[in-house]
């Protein structure tokens, strides 16, 4: 691979490395200033929320996901040098994927495209196309959160499930219905997509660089880079295309924050609001029954969305410092 396709960010940057069934996954974080208090509990919380094997509703792959800090941190503070973090893979079952060599590629996956593109690829668990790659994102996102909240203690990022399949989170007994839906899906080899709501509360004002580094475009890029994401909506989103302008831009309507906290690509200081659409997990029917797959990836993707938002925030906060004397 080339063209920094495994890296994200301009000033505060992540480089992701490792394959799903390789010895380890990890992240190199560059551009983090020195003096950030390193809080291991934040990183472990991110990892635990993303970790497979954490409940009966997600993949049964049982990884402890214990991070090893290799560089960039000393006496619980960042040094301003690259922060390298490694997480060992412990529970691979590569034999589950040997049939791919004989029986062809999995429907809905990118196995064939990776092989066509590079002529040599790791078929085990999807290699770097696996959802396990998001581990690197939560490692870096947790460090970004440490940096951002040290400067802005009130800043919050929260992703919540809005719907899974036809189930809506506001419905009565949603958790119970969701549990039943996904347990049945695992037995039957079915899968579901869903929609998440991402909210950035108390964001700093004036984040976002013209013209191609707008806050909204960097967030859209960050969220769309997550494997299962098929759509991102800001504020009123597609509903705004159906609205009449004098009503949409009225003072009364603005109280509902239709712009999603961003105007001209720059944060206003209001809450930033995104909605994210996730497709059904590609592994279905016999492939799902024989392997260890999530019937709905959205449950473990929430923390990944938060991590990507923290990365954008950290990057944009540092870029903003270059705007004025």
Q: What is the mean pLDDT of the chain?
A: 90
* Per-residue pLDDT, 103: 61
Contact of 127 with 12, CB cutoff 8 Å = no
How confident is the model at residue 130, as a pLDDT?
81
Strands (E), 19-169: 24-30, 67-69, 73-74, 77-78, 83-88, 156-164, 167-168
Read off the pTM. 0.92
pLDDT at 256 over 90: no
**43-78 pLDDT, tens digit each:** 999 999 998 766 667 765 566 789 999 999 999 999
Interstrand relation of 67-69 and 73-74 (parallel, antiparallel or unpaired)? unpaired
Question: What value, to the nearest 5°, has the Cα angle with vertex 295 and ends 293 and 86?
Answer: 45
In this structure, of 86-90, 111-115, 170-174, 278-282, the range with the lowest mean pLDDT score is 111-115
Distance CA 285, CA 288 (A): 5
Question: 104: pLDDT confidence band, cut at 50, 70 and 90?
Answer: low
| Alpha carbon distance 27, 25 (integer Å) | 7
Per-residue pLDDT band at 90 (split at 50, 70, 90): confident
CATH number of 7-320: 3.60.150.10
Instruction: Give the closest residue to 117 by CA, choosing from 133, 128, 103, 131.
Output: 128
**Given this model, what pLDDT does residue 122 score?**
75
Task: Return the ∠ at Cα 6 (arms to 293 and 13), rounded to 5°.
Answer: 115
Q: What is the 3-state secondary structure (H, E, C) of the chain?
A: CCCCCCEECCCCEEEEEECCCCCEEEEEEECCCCCCECCHHHHHHHHHHHCCCCCCCCCCCCCCCCEEECCCEECCEECCCCEEEEEECCCCCHHHHCHHHHHCCCCCCCHHHHHHHHCCCCCHHHHHHCHHHHHHHHHHHHHHHHHHHHHCCCCEEEEEEEEECCEECCCCCHHHHHHHHHHHHHHHCCCCCEEEEEEEECCCCCCCECCCECHHHHHHHHHHCCCCEEEEEECCHHHHHHCCHHHHCCHHHHCCCCCCCEECCEECCCCEEEEEEECCCCCCHHHHHHCCCCCCCHHHHHHHHHHHHHHHHHHHHHHHCCCCC
| Segment 121-166, tens digit of pLDDT | 777 767 688 888 999 999 999 999 999 999 999 999 999 999 999 9
Binned at pLDDT 50, 70 and 90, residue 241 comes out as: very high
Residue spans of the domains in the chain: they are 7-320
Residues 71, 302, 277, CA angle at the centre, nearest 5°? 130
């Amino acid at each position: 691979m080339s063209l920094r396709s495994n890296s994200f960010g301009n000033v505060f940057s992540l480089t992701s490395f490792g394959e799903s069934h390789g010895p380890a996954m990890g992240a190199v974080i560059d551009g983090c200033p020195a003096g950030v208090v390193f809080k291991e509990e934040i990183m472990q919380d991110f990892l635990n929320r993303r970790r497979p094997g954490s409940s009966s509703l997600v993949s049964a792959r049982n990884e402890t996901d214990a991070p090893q800090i290799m560089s960039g941190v000393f006496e619980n503070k960042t040094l301003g040098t690259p922060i390298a973090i490694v997480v060992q893979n412990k529970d691979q079952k590569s034999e589950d994927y040997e049939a791919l060599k004989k029986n062809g590629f999995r429907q809905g996956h990118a196995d064939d495209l990776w092989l066509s593109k590079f002529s040599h690829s790791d078929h085990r668990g999807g290699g770097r196309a696996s959802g396990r790659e998001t581990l690197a994102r939560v490692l870096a996102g947790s460090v970004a959160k440490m940096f951002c909240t040290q400067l802005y203690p009130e800043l919050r990022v929260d992703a919540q499930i809005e719907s899974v399949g036809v189930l809506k989170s506001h419905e009565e007994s949603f958790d119970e219905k969701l549990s039943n839906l996904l347990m049945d899906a695992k037995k039957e080899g079915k899968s579901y997509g869903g929609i998440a709501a991402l909210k950035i509360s108390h964001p700093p004002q004036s984040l976002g660089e013209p013209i191609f580094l707008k806050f909204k475009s960097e967030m859209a890029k960050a969220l769309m880079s997550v494997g299962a994401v098929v759509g991102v909506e800001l504020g009123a989103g597609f509903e705004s295309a159906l609205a009449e302008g004098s009503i949409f831009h009225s003072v009364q309507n603005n109280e509902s924050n239709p712009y999603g906290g961003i105007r001209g690509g720059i944060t206003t200081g209001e809450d930033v609001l995104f909605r994210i659409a996730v497709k059904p997990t590609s592994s279905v029917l016999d492939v799902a029954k024989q392997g260890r797959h999530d019937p709905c990836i959205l449950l473990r993707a929430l923390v990944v969305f938060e991590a990507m938002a923290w990365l954008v925030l950290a990057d944009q906060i540092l870029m903003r410092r270059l705007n004025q004397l």
